[in-house]
Structure 1
């Protein structure tokens, strides 16, 4: 690329990304600030704040019990925040600690039966809301949305992982 060429010229991928960034922000704001999560928690009968729901849902979609550090990594937050949320969820009997079969010193966190039921209710509320939002879409549009969002999430996550593994440049 010549020095005078822009990476966001008319035939460059940057133009498309630049055009979609406001929409990603709009969607993020609608979900996080638009009380959607709170409404879903209320519909599920969960008197929990958003971080606690996030921990419960992270555990719910995991294929196995997780260490606190794994929950933090999946949620992209620091461990002490997760520890406090896990303790609050334990007090409500929504999660429990189980021994790590590979390390007796460590414990894993998993949803209790009550926690799994609550997570199912929350998921059903969220799925119902989004299903209603795209009810008039064609099957092809819904399929494209699923395929492309999955691809975007996977590619962004992989790219961020590479950044985390790359040592900072020497100064």
Structure 2
């Protein structure tokens, strides 16, 4: 987005309407920047990636083992890619597959104690560092940004797109 709309803070000027196309372009450029910011704040050693970190962090929010489809959907990962991701984390002893209590054909994924340690000791601090991006915002600005993001999510859901609400994985 190359222009900044004028607003009520600009004396003598009227607000320039921002189009949906401009907002979409803004989200697209932010997506790339946020991904780079997350990459920079993930521990450099040990081969940690954003999808691996996101999966491990997401598993800490689960009270029970979860299916790979449920875990992969918020990451936008295909079942095949999810299998590769879980295979690697399982090989390192960070997650394990367990049987489904009612359907023996289904395997669920849970954190191991070693995986929980990685999340607490390595990913927790890097997650806090990544979240520091919003330290430049006032509490009111953060609340308004979250409100607007929830509204975008609601708009997608009304159009049939399954978007997790903030706080869900």
Distance 1:159 1:62 in 2: 28
Structure 2 partner of 1:7: none
Displacement, 1:153?
A: 3.1
1:139 alignment counterpart: 139
Verify: 1:108 aligned to 2:108, yes or no.
Answer: yes
- In 1, the alpha carbon distance for the partners of 2:86 and 2:158 equals 27
Q: In angstroms, what is the RMSD of aligned CA positions?
A: 2.6
* C-alpha contact 1:57 1:119 (8 A) present in aligned 2: yes
Q: Secondary structure at the match of 2:42?
A: helix
Aligned pairs, number: 145
Hey, what does 2:30 align to over in structure 1?
A: 27
Give the C-alpha shift of residue 24 in structure 1. 0.9
Match of 1:126 in 2: 127
Offset of 1:23 from its aligned partner?
Answer: 1.7
Match of 2:66 in 1: 66
Give the aligned partner of residue 48 of structure 1.
48
Unaligned 5+ runs, structure 2: 1-16, 163-169
- Structure 1: stretches of 5+ with no match in the other structure: 1-12, 163-171
Q: Cα–Cα, structure 1 residues 68 and 151, in superposed 2: closer, same or farther, change >3 Å?
A: same
Residues in 2 aligned to 1:38 and 1:112: alpha-carbon distance in whole angstroms: 24
Q: Pick closer, same or farther for the CA change 1:58–1:158 going to 2, 3 Å.
A: farther
2:77 is aligned to 77
Query: Which of the two has greater helix per residue?
Result: 1
- Give the distance between the partners of 1:31 and 1:136, measured in 2 at CA: 15
CA deviation digits over 1:42-87, x for unaligned, max 9? Answer: 16x5422333334323433445321122223232221111111101
Runs of 4+ in 1 over 6 A off after TM superposition: none
